[in-house]
Structure 1
Amino acid sequence: MGRSTARRASRRTGPNGGGGRSRSRSRRRGRARRGPARAVLALTALGAVLLTAGAAVAYWRDTRPPVTDDQVADVADALDASTRTPAPSPSPSASPTPKSSPSPSASPSASPSPSTIAIPATGPGTFVTAQADGTTVGTGSRVRRYKVLVEEGIDVRPSAAAAEIADVLADDRGWTRDGANSFRLVSSGSYDFVVKIATPGTVDRICGAAGLLTRGEVNCSVGTDVVVNLKRWVLGSPEFDGPIHEYRALIVNHEVGHRIGHGHETCPGAGRPAPAMMQQIKGLKGCVANAWPYDEDGAYLGGPSVP
């Protein structure tokens, strides 16, 4: 009985003689009591933090500067631009090609303008006959048939040249006004004279064969040939201030005048029309340049004869 009592006492007091079980239960009860206290402290601290943050947010809302509509738009645009794919830059449009205006059709008989006609120094000396025929012009009993020839290789159309020469000889201010001579353009058969348009070198050869010195500058009349220098046909004369077609009329009237028997004449007086038979390229001597042997009233525009 003594041993069992001792063992019971030992279990109650523990190795150190104290109450072991009682102390263990006391420690467990202490820890249990401290757990709720710590939770309360943690919740209290969290509440303080949240209260402080809420106060800060309220303060920031009350003190921040107002955001303008422009700032909102800028931000929205920036966000939009950062998320959308940039559109490709438009390439510059090519200017529309201007529609060219249709050029007026050239008349079949039109010649190149004088400014575009080349003037070779010389040519082959062979000629092309204008395939053109006209009616008789004038009332004179003497009908003079003529052809028009153009040297090969020059930029003058034979048909155009023939039409222009025919117009000159048909003009009322021309040689038909004398009442004795009429003219008719032909392309074949017999003829009284030939009008040849040639390069300066060819003119010099034809005229030089008859002893005439043209020096590549002037025209001449030799036998049945009326030889027209291409340079004068295209450029006219510095002494003649009229249009080129008027100067061509002077060439034709002067050389055809020789063919029908007229010699050279000179200026009849200052300010008066220069005679068509005057060598106007050598100077007007006070006269006014003139292409026609007659005026519109039928008066002869002559001057003193020159030997």
Structure 2
Amino acid sequence: MTAHKATSARRRRRRAPARGRLWAGLAALAALGVTGFAAEGWRTPDAGGTHAQVRTEPTESTESTEPAERTTIRPTDTAKASPRPSASSPAAPRKPDIPATGPGTFTTAPGTGARVGKGTVLRYRVDVETGLDLSAAGVAAQVERVLGDRRGWTADGHSAFQRVSSGATDFVVRVATPGTVDTICGQYGLDTGGEVNCSVDRNVMVNLRRWLLATPVYAKDVTAYRALIINHEVGHFLGHGHVGCPGPGQPAPAMMQQIKGMHGCVPNVWPYDENGNYITGPAVP
């Protein structure tokens, strides 16, 4: 009996209308499509996190048969990153090229400067040794500013100067290589050792090394040290001898050999102060 009822039920299901079978098939296809989309469009991220890679897979386009560009984003290991110098980082300053010696010939700065000071005018010329990477006119302009400064030798009330390029001169300021300075100064018994300047006869000899590098005390203000060179050596020409430091904390006299040490004095490159007072100290050999 039971078997008979089952057979009748199967017969009735086979006689179900065709419309019902059509709708059932469409519903099954729709469910399969949704399931497939969800499986492709969502993925479980890697639980490790730091090693995850996100990729965009190639997709098909109705306009092109070429796959879309593949993009991979990888984590940056900052612990292993090596810093690189910036292209805009300032380079270390290049030390000037100072030849040991030169030809011993000179180029004279052209033109004539203004007269400065009161009294009898001392005419001077400015020369630069041939072949140096220095403008004779540029050196002359600096020398003129130093000798014309109110803190310079004109403050004594009877010294006057004028730069010339030809004719008779009372003295010559010459910037030369260490070897040439040694040669000229050595002719008068002075040993400059390739390092220092001198004033002999009518020659104020300026060592190129000191003109470009100054000394450790003045390394950050080479222009100031150039003023000291001119004031010191022209001071010798005017008859002034060496003096020492007048006392700790006092301005160093221009006639002090500051290259040998400050001995408690503070840097100063002028023979006179702003008030016209002469800066000096005890006489030394």
Pairing 1:305–2:283 present: yes
Partner in structure 2 of residue 123 of structure 1:
102
Distance 2:284 2:94 in 1: 35
Q: Secondary structure at the match of 1:286?
A: coil
Pairing 1:254–2:220 present: no
Q: Secondary structure at the match of 2:116?
A: coil
1:196-275 equivalences under 5 Å are 196-240=174-218, 243-275=221-253
Deviation at 1:276, TM superposition (A): 0.4
Q: 1:53 to 1:148 in 2, by over 3 A?
A: farther
Q: Which runs of 5+ in 2 are unaligned?
A: 1-13, 41-57, 70-92
Partner in structure 2 of residue 57 of structure 1:
22
Distance 1:204 1:80 in 2: 86
Distance 2:215 2:120 in 1: 32
Contact kept, 8 Å, 1:117 with 1:155, in 2: the verdict is no
Contact kept, 8 Å, 1:146 with 1:195, in 2: the verdict is yes
Q: Secondary structure at the match of 2:199?
A: strand
Percent identity between matched residues is 52
Letter in 2 for 1:57: L
- 1:226-275 CA-to-partner distances (Å, cap 9, x unmatched) read 00000000000124366111100000000000111111111111110111
TM-score by length of 1: 0.68
- 1:195-241 CA-to-partner distances (Å, cap 9, x unmatched) read 00001111111111111001100000111100000000000012436
Deviation at 1:83, TM superposition (A): 5.3
Letter in 1 for 2:96: I
Deviation at 1:162, TM superposition (A): 0.2
Q: Secondary structure at the match of 1:148?
A: strand
Q: Secondary structure at the match of 1:147?
A: strand
Deviation at 1:85, TM superposition (A): 4.6
The counterpart of 2:64, out of the listed 47, 67, 84, is: 84
Q: 1:241 to 1:156 in 2, by over 3 A?
A: closer
Q: Which runs of 5+ in 1 are unaligned?
A: 1-48, 90-113
Partner in structure 2 of residue 177 of structure 1:
155
Q: 1:85 to 1:61 in 2, by over 3 A?
A: closer
Question: Whose helix fraction is larger, Structure 1's or Structure 2's?
Answer: 1
Contact kept, 8 Å, 2:60 with 2:68, in 1: the verdict is no
Q: Secondary structure at the match of 2:131?
A: coil
Contact kept, 8 Å, 1:268 with 1:287, in 2: the verdict is yes
